[in-house]
Amino acid sequence: MANPKKDFSQLDADFVRVLEDLIDALIANGTLRLTDLPIQAQQKLTQRKQTRARLSKHLDLLDDDDGQVI
């Protein structure tokens, strides 16, 4: 039997990754600057990027085309 709470948590995690990728794309094309975001958002994005980079080195995860862990 499916666990609705777990399923929703996974959807949230997937959606967060979509938002991170969107923010990265907006920054890359110059539409948005990281400094346009509130300091708390800047810190959270930076922490997630650093953690993802650190984990990818230790877990030997596959990278997608843009070099980010999938």
**Model-wide pTM > 0.85:** no
Predicted confidence (pLDDT) at residue 23 exceeds the cutoff of 70: yes
What pLDDT sits at residue 61? 52
Give the H/E segment covering residue 44. Answer: helix 39-59
Position 5 scores a pLDDT of 81
Res 70 pLDDT > 50: no
CB 46 within 8 A of CB 38: no
Tokens of 14: 């997937």
Burial of 32 (0-12, 13-18, 19+ CB in 10 A): middle
**Average pLDDT, rounded, for the chain:** 84
Average pLDDT, integer, range 17-35: 95
Residue 35 has pLDDT above 90, yes or no: yes
